[in-house]
Structure 1
Amino acid sequence: MSLFKKLFGGSAPPEQKAEEYEGYQIIAEPQRDNNGYRIAARIEKNVDGKIFVHRLIRADTINDLSEAETASIAKAKQMIDQQGDGIFR
């Protein structure tokens, strides 16, 4: 392993666990911010072998990573309930 990989973390971040909801896959991806973690998630849906992706990013911030992950999943579910497949337009 090179010196730069040791110093700067050459490995990829751990893969987040996806949660299934109404035929969609939701992956919480809170983003580090100055005030904590910004609510963010990736919403995916497989339609006939084609994967559609929507990235949800909100201005809300939460101090705790675990709470930010939970809130990100909840916001993604809310968006799915409100917009359905329209999120992929």
Structure 2
Amino acid sequence: MSFLKKLFGGNGREGLSSSEVVEHEGFMIYPEPTNEGGTYRVSARIEKVINDELRSQRLLRADTSSNEEEASRTSILKAKQVIDERGEKLFDGPSA
């Protein structure tokens, strides 16, 4: 079963459906809030295929929420903001 999740874009977290993956300006956003002992840190994976190569960048914010769904929504909003500000430059350098 986890093989299928990886194959079809799941990240192995229970409860996250593929419908929560969001496309924005050609980028794919995967909300992945990090559980930190009862609070969830805003976090997402941003991906885009550029020149036939899958590029990926992790967004990790200081923002937290006590609710995982709210943290997922905020992760998507923050990822969209970063995409709008940086575009493909998001993938320049090791910690872009």
Q: What's the TM-score, normalizing by structure 1?
A: 0.80
* Correspondence for 1:7: none
**1:27 maps to 2:26:** no
1:24-63 mapped onto 2 (5 Å cutoff): 24-34=27-37, 36-63=39-66
**Aligned CA distance change for structure 1 residues 83 and 71 (closer, same or farther; 3 Å):** same
* Correspondence for 1:64: 67
Deviations 1:16-68 (A, max 9, x none): 53211000000000000135100000000012321000000011110101000
Instruction: State the SS of the aligned residue for 2:13.
Output: coil
Contact residue 16 and residue 29 of structure 1 kept, 8 A? no
- CA root-mean-square deviation: 1.5
Q: What code does the residue aligned with 1:59 have?
A: A
Q: Percent identity?
A: 40
**Aligned CA distance change for structure 1 residues 48 and 16 (closer, same or farther; 3 Å):** farther
Which of 57, 71, 76 is the aligned partner of 2:79? 76
- In structure 2, stretches of 5+ residues that fail to align are 1-11
In proportion to residue count, which structure has more strand?
A: 1
Larger radius of gyration: 1
Regions of 4+ moved over 4 Å: none
Q: What code does the residue aligned with 2:47 have?
A: E
